[in-house]
Structure 1
Amino acid sequence: MVFKTEKIADYELGLLYRDRAFQKVLAPGVYRFLPGRAEIEVVKLDLRALPVRDAALAALYLTHPQVVEAHFLVADMGDGDLGIVTADGKLAGLVAPRSVAFYAKALRQVKLEVVDAATAFELPERLVGPLARLGAKDLVAVVEVVSDHVGLLYLDGVLQKQLKPGRYAFVKALHRVDVASFDLRLQTLEVTGQELLTKDRVGLRANLTAVFRIVDPLKAVALTSDLKDFLYKELQFALRQVIGTRTLEQVLGDKLGINQAIEALVLPKLGDAGLAVPSVGVKDIILPGDVRELMNRVIEAEKTAQANVIKRREETAATRSLLNTAKLMEDNPILLRLKELEALEKVSEKFGNVVVTNGVEGVLQDLVRIRPKGA
């Protein structure tokens, strides 16, 4: 007579069925069954798996739940429950709402923690790291708010709270979880290529630069959905308003006043939006080619006129100096004679030979004479 032999390993558990009806649980070991008219079947369950997945085990839980619970930790979750299973103190898995999972008790010390997923949407900090490694993205959202940032948590589209830098884990099995992150550091926004008209109808192009930072994210999201677009539009409108109330001469001559006027217009609105703007200013003002050429001609004419005024002033000063010198020579014969000798020296430098017919007296008296003879 040939016996039917079944071997159950140390890491296995056997389910004995006779004529498809459950009989008992088989512990690890060797079993022999006499052949007969009854159909013998042994289902072997691998207890190493976390969780143990087998259709026979799930069916047995429906018909003999007390048998299954004697050998397995049964995580039978309700509609609003999330199961957190640990094995030997380590996170082993998550059990979704309205599902059942089986964890063998024989090989490990397993524990089950049930979280009310409908209300307790944030999981303890101790689970954040293990959940990030587990990667159960369909049940839990693990988010990170980096340094110098702040996060806003939304649950099913409703703002819940503000998050400081760090890592968080939220239950998303029953809810939609979103986290919006905001950079709190200084940022720069460029408003470039703005075509503008001055008060005297002169067209020009201007570029504006603003340095800003977010100081109140709650105000920011309450006022606008696109913070940078809102800031860009406000700066653009303020630039147009300020340039449009000034002539070209005022625009080119008072950039500081333009910057201050723009700040006065935008700072109250940006403060209501949770923004701080430490500095804002016009970086470039670009004139069209014909206007630039005209301005160059005006500047050239102004500089030429200034040069002529300076030249006339210097000529007048030189003439006045000559007049004063002449008056001094008129009253002082010795000074007059010295001037005549200076003139003689300069004349002598320009000629190689000077011929005189009257001796030294002719040189001193007739060659160079400032005062008329006999005066």
Structure 2
Amino acid sequence: MIWVAAVSALLLVGALTGVRVLREYERAVVFRLGRVLPLRGPGLVVLIPLADRMVRVDLRTIALTIPPQEAITRDNVPVRVNAVAYFKVVDPVRSVNEVENHAVATSQLAQTSLRSVLGRHDLDALLAERDRLGESLQKVLDDQTEPWGVKVDLVEIKDVEIPEAMQRAIARQAEAERERRAKVINAEGEVQAARNLREAARTLSADPAAIQLRYLQTLLELGGEGRSTIVYPVPVDLPAPSPGASPMLPAALAAAATASGCACGRERRPS
């Protein structure tokens, strides 16, 4: 009876130790005497003691931080780049049979691929087209990890570090570009102003009365708001003597302006 009880206890302990519970996101790759069995899980998995060996495989997406890598771009600029890769296991059997540790292997492959991709692009492309570089790196990793049963979903370039001297050069380049745009905009404004002045001159020259009205409007604008100086614009050709005109015309105009209390560029004293 003692032997029967001992054997029963050993069988019970072995049965209990051979029971595994897998979560919804886990799968079990079971080897029986070295031969792989069909995939199991999730839920309750029963193993034969001393004959079965189980390997748990997590099917969730893993965020892999790629350590900072130093590389030289195609235009010979040293950079230091770090990134993050998101991958998951899509075939648990191959992830166990084809590679020793799929997470470590994917990390090493991501580091070497990152340096290789950076060397094929210029610094400007690296700074302005991170999304496109991430897609290129993701495709390279996905093609190489596919035999391992691993799917790389996304690769994002987190940070790009460049030498301080190169940063100053980029800042000077950006400043020169802004100055160039400012000069171009200023020149375009001058061209538009000249065109508008030409159109205004044509409109005013079509009717002498329009010129006189413009003179009066200018007089009102300059003499308003309590100013003490009145400037009256006089056409340049008005004081000029014409053939057959009296030589006293300029003096008469000056006398008339003095009598009316208006002088060109002269300050009017308050009474």
CA apart distance, 1:244: 0.2
Please name the residue that 2:36 is paired with.
159
Partner Cα distance (2:45, 2:132) in 1: 48
Please name the residue that 1:369 is paired with.
234
Q: Which has the higher strand share?
A: 1
Please name the residue that 1:101 is paired with.
none
- Go from structure 1 to structure 2 and tell me whether the alpha carbon gap of 1:137 and 1:94 turns closer, same or farther (over 3 Å shift): closer
Residue 191 (1) aligns with residue 56 (2): no
Instruction: Give the secondary-structure state (helix, strand or coil) at the position aligned to 1:207.
Output: strand
Residue 205 (1) aligns with residue 80 (2): yes
Q: TM-score, normalised by structure 1?
A: 0.57
Partner Cα distance (1:204, 1:238) in 2: 15
Partner Cα distance (1:150, 1:335) in 2: 93
The structure 2 residue matched to 1:273, chosen from 142, 148, 160, is 148
Residue 315 (1) aligns with residue 231 (2): no
Q: After superposition, where does 1:225-374 map in structure 2 within 5 Å?
A: 225-349=100-224, 352-354=227-229, 367-370=232-235, 372-374=237-239
- Go from structure 1 to structure 2 and tell me whether the alpha carbon gap of 1:187 and 1:196 turns closer, same or farther (over 3 Å shift): same
Paired residues of 1:348 and 1:354 also in contact (CA < 8 A) = yes
Question: Taking every aligned residue pair, what percent have the same amino acid on both sides?
Answer: 23
Partner Cα distance (2:134, 2:51) in 1: 45
Please name the residue that 2:47 is paired with.
170
Q: How many residues align?
A: 240
Q: Which has the higher helix share?
A: 2
Spell out, residue by residue over 1:37-57, the C-alpha distance to the aligned partner (whole angstroms, 9 max, x if none).
xxxxxxxxxxxxxxx65xxxx
Spell out, residue by residue over 1:340-367, the C-alpha distance to the aligned partner (whole angstroms, 9 max, x if none).
1232123213653357xxxxxxxxxx82
CA apart distance, 1:269: 1.4
Paired residues of 2:215 and 2:233 also in contact (CA < 8 A) = yes
Shifted more, 266-275 versus 341-350: the winner is 341-350
Partner Cα distance (1:331, 1:252) in 2: 59
Instruction: Give the secondary-structure state (helix, strand or coil) at the position aligned to 2:224.
Output: helix
The structure 1 residue matched to 2:56, chosen from 160, 168, 181, is 181
Partner Cα distance (2:119, 2:130) in 1: 14
Partner Cα distance (2:16, 2:208) in 1: 117
Partner Cα distance (2:54, 2:237) in 1: 105
Identify the structure with bigger relative contact order (alpha carbons < 8 Å, sequence gap 6+).
2
CA apart distance, 1:155: 4.2
Instruction: Give the secondary-structure state (helix, strand or coil) at the position aligned to 1:233.
Output: helix
CA apart distance, 1:216: 0.3
Shifted more, 341-350 versus 192-201: the winner is 341-350
What's the Cα RMSD here? 2.7
Instruction: Give the secondary-structure state (helix, strand or coil) at the position aligned to 2:19.
Output: strand
The structure 2 residue matched to 1:147, chosen from 13, 21, 24, is 24
Letter of the 1:142 partner, please give it: V
Partner Cα distance (1:252, 1:206) in 2: 11
Partner Cα distance (2:209, 2:236) in 1: 12
